[in-house]
Structure 1
Amino acid sequence: MNRLVPLALLLAIATPTTGSGPWRASETNTRGWQLMTAEERIEHQARIRGFRTYSECRDYQLEHHRLMEERARQRGIELPRGRRDICEHLQPPAEPRQHAD
């Protein structure tokens, strides 16, 4: 068993379901939720919470979407399109524009 799974499970249990706590994976915000095992869901949530850069988060997100699309294709179902980029909060802030004098 992956060593991260028990830690992720503890984090998931300790995380509040309401308020402004850490991001929680669910069927409403995770593409392919219904195609993932319980262990995969826990690991996915832990990985998303652990990213520190946009590029590593985005690479993982694209690979996750590719995998879920493949599973959906194998089962003959269509996945809904994602609503937002869960990695966006890791983007560096935009530089203020310089005004020409």
Structure 2
Amino acid sequence: MAGMGPGIGHGFTPGWTMMSRAERDAHRQQMLNARSAEECRQIRDEHFKQMTERAKAQGVAMRGPRHDACASFRP
């Protein structure tokens, strides 16, 4: 199915519950604006790094996503 984009939300985005609504919206836009699967993975990986640091600062255990947000990416 052409045009299918990245997965976004609680099951795809680590740290979703630690993010404000504005942060969620900004992340959603970044993911939707990704032009390639590689760019999607770069955004995903950088986000995971940031959320891992936030979780550590808050003393919270961080888990990876349940689903790969970039698996269904098609330009």
- Partner of residue 14, structure 2: 31
Higher Cα Rg, which structure? 1
Give, as a single letter, the amino acid of the residue that structure 1 aligns with 2:52.
Answer: E
Find out whether 1:55 has 2:14 as its counterpart.
no
Aligned to 1:74: 57
Unaligned 5+ runs, structure 1: 1-21, 93-101
Query: TM-score, length-normalised on structure 2?
Result: 0.76
Q: TM-score, normalised by structure 1?
A: 0.59
% identical aligned pairs: 31
1:9 counterpart residue number: none
TM superposition shift of 1:84: 2.0
- 1:37: Cα distance to partner? 1.6
Does structure 2 conserve the Cα–Cα contact (< 8 Å) formed by 1:25 and 1:41?
A: no
